[in-house]
A and B are shown apart, each in its own frame.
Chain A
């Protein structure tokens, strides 16, 4: 019993009813009822209409654009985020505090500002776009542009989820592998990576979920060409502007299910990882 005192929840601390009432009331009004309304509203369509809505070619193309760009961006962020977390935890170098301090910039900077700035940088005459143009690659108004905007949005997720885990990793761990004759690369891939994989995956899926729903930073850089660079949130927005609420709602429902699916997969990965330790 000695160790469980801190974990054990007490029933003497006053305020349970008040906080329970406020929290459930608030969540009910702000989260549960709105989402139920969304589900109910989509019931106004018949099943066939619903399917026709969410699988029309243009909508279907938008899923492909959204998922492929969000997935690529999150993959890039998984690699870069892991590297940045590694550098921040492992090495001492000038400017380290600055580097650590700016990771959250995408949380602090309004997405629309990031969107227009990245667009202007990557058009063919922009500071970055010029370089790519030499190789005949255009960035802005293509899927590459969307991916870059999403990379910007997702940077903090992987770094901040891997960093604390790396910090807690005991050095003996690696030293043990080294004394057994493992090369640094072997140690990294076979000893360290499995340890941090759950946090890496958590960061990846948070970034992925966020990127799929992202609107503000993407809408400027995407160019929004139907079938090519039109993301799903933009389709919903367009339907709303045409007052076609039924279609908007059914597409939103599909997106919502997709987010839940990502959350679900991540939960399974985390539970399995917790069981192994």
Chain B
């Protein structure tokens, strides 16, 4: 469908309603958070975000995000490669399983790992004997976050890999190139923007995951509180300045992610024209 240059009242009414809707739903909350965070002055803002517990929460969030992105990048690349480069029985099932975490409530995602590794689990005696703590500890947070963001990277890669086709890789394989060499030299240049885009989305969700992490964290301040959980704690303690100050950091991250997303999407589209 082409852009129409008609300028009837319908056009401006539709644009107006859309803009108003997005302004109220998306922009206003952001403005409000920043406004509230700075209302008591920069000093209390700085104090809130440099509180030792705040710093611990930021550190944990960064740690969880990095691990999640690394694990899911590896999984996403392998899954996308497998699902677009080969045909085999059971492929549809694997594709469905890969996307499944998208339609599962984060609370349930947390719950399944609680059941697997918690006190009532058949694995618990073994874990306990070896002093491995997963539930109500950092490994549980990481596991839940990986589960929730599992399909994020493969979903970005699969359409691009399908569009590129397999001929270049076949040509390379015919000349005797090995799998890893083909992937890094021939395939990856085609998918790099989509891959980085997937990484950005995955990082965004990993940073902000609340429900799943909430089930498994145990809320030990300074130990197992990620930024969103720490914000909840501040909020429930009526420390609104603190909660909104921490939130404003996440908002800055979100805006950066959106800008990155747009750059990557633009780059990817431009290269597809080759």
A168 CB, nearest partner CB in chain B, Å: 7
CB–CB A237/B215 < 8 A: yes
- State whether the Cβ of B166 lies closer than 8 Å to any Cβ in chain A: yes
B147 on the A face (CB < 8 A): yes
A89 to B32, CA, bound (A): 30
Our pick among A41, A106, A212, A214 for the contact of B115 (Cβ within 8 Å) is: A41
Chain B interface, number of residues (Cβ within 8 angstroms)? 101
Write out the residue numbers on chain B whose beta carbons fall within 8 Å of the beta carbon of A106.
Answer: 26
CA distance A236 to B183 in the complex (A): 44
- Min CB gap B114→A, angstroms: 7
**Please, how many angstroms separate the alpha-carbon atoms of A107 and B245 in the complex?**
20
Identify which of residues 53-105 in chain A touch chain B, using a CB-to-CB cut-off of 8 Å.
80, 83-84, 86-87, 89-93, 95, 97, 99, 101-105
Inter-chain contact A121/B101, CB cutoff 8 Å = no
Q: Is the CB of B116 within 8 A of A37?
A: yes
- Stretch of B40-48, B52-60, B199-207 that contacts chain A: B199-207
Q: Does chain A have a CB within 8 A of B167? A: yes
Q: Among A33, A121, A151, point to the contact of B28 (Cβ < 8 A).
A: A121
Q: Which residues of B174-212 are within 8 A (CB) of A?
A: 174, 178-180, 182-183, 201, 204-205, 207-211
Partner of A215, one of B74, B82, B85, B107: B107
The answer to whether A6 and B29 have CB atoms under 8 Å apart is no
Q: Is there an interface contact between A110 and B227, defined as CB atoms closer than 8 Å?
A: yes
Residues 82-122 of chain B: 1 if any A CB is under 8 Å from the residue's CB, otherwise 0? 10011110000010011011111111100111111010110
0/1 per residue, B231-262, Cβ < 8 Å to A? Answer: 11001000010011001001101110111011
A117 touches B108 (CB 8 A): no
Least CB distance from B244 to A in Å reads 8
Are the CB atoms of A259 and B103 closer together than 8 Å?
Answer: yes
A102 B26 Cβ-Cβ under 8 A: yes
A259 touches B104 (CB 8 A): yes
Q: Are B98 and A256 in contact (CB under 8 A)?
A: no
Q: Which residues of B contact A95 (CB under 8 A)?
A: 19
In the assembled complex, how far is the CB of residue A224 from the closest CB belonging to chain B, in whole angstroms? 12
Chain A 215-256 against B: per-residue CB contact (8 Å), 1 yes, 0 no? 110001000000000000100110010000100110010011
In the complex, which residues 215-240 of chain B have their Cβ closer than 8 Å to any Cβ of chain A? 215, 227-229, 231-232, 235, 240
Take A22-B78, A112-B208, A245-B120 as given contacts and tell me if A83 and B17 are in contact as well, using a CB distance cutoff of 8 Å.
Answer: yes
* Chain A residue at minimal CB-CB distance from B85: A13
Contact A13 B227 (CB under 8 A): no
Q: A113-B231, A213-B106 are in contact. Are A26 and B18 (CB under 8 A)?
A: no
Q: When the two chains form the complex, which single residue of A19, A32, A170, A245 contacts B1, counting CB atoms closer than 8 Å? A: A170
CB of B108 within 8 A of CB of A255, answer yes
Q: Check B258–A101 contact: CB distance below 8 A.
A: yes
Contact of B3 with A90 in the complex, beta carbons under 8 Å: yes
Contact residues in B for A1 (Cβ distance below 8 Å): none
Query: How many residues of A are counted as interface, with CB atoms below 8 angstroms from the partner's CB atoms?
Result: 97
Q: Is the interface of B mostly helix, strand, loop or mixed?
A: helix
Cα–Cα, bound, A109→B28 (Å): 13
Partner of A31 from the list B18, B147, B183, B201 (CB cut-off 8 Å) is B147
Give bound CA distance, A262 to B103, whole Å: 9
Residue B24 CB within 8 A of the other chain? yes
Interface core residue of B21, B26, B36, B107 (most chain A CB under 10 Å): B107
A124 an interface residue at 8 Å Cβ cutoff? no
A12, A83, A117 pick with most chain B CB within 10 angstroms:
A117
Smallest CB–CB gap between A190 and chain B, Å? 16
What is the CB-to-nearest-CB distance from B98 to chain A, in angstroms, rounded to a whole number?
Answer: 7
**Option from A14, A169, A249 in Cβ contact (under 8 Å) with B178:** A14
- What is the minimal beta-carbon distance from A65 to any residue of chain B, in angstroms? 15
Given contacts A27-B98, A38-B108, A92-B3, contact A109 B250 (CB under 8 A): yes
Closest to B154 in A: A23
B94-A27 in contact (CB<8A): yes
Bound complex: CA of A114 vs CA of B208, how far in Å? 10
**B128-147 with Cβ < 8 A to chain A:** 143, 146-147
19 additional A-B residue pairs with CB within 8 Å, beyond A14-B178, A117-B29: A6-B165, A10-B85, A13-B169, A15-B85, A20-B88, A23-B98, A27-B98, A34-B113, A34-B147, A97-B262, A102-B27, A109-B30, A113-B247, A113-B251, A116-B243, A120-B240, A210-B103, A248-B111, A252-B108
Q: State the B residues within 8 Å of A (CB).
A: 1-5, 10-11, 14-15, 17-19, 21-22, 24-30, 32-33, 36, 74-75, 78-79, 81-82, 85-88, 94, 97-98, 100-108, 111-116, 118, 120-121, 143, 146-147, 150, 165-167, 169-170, 173-174, 178-180, 182-183, 201, 204-205, 207-211, 214-215, 227-229, 231-232, 235, 240, 243-244, 247, 250-251, 253-255, 257-259, 261-262
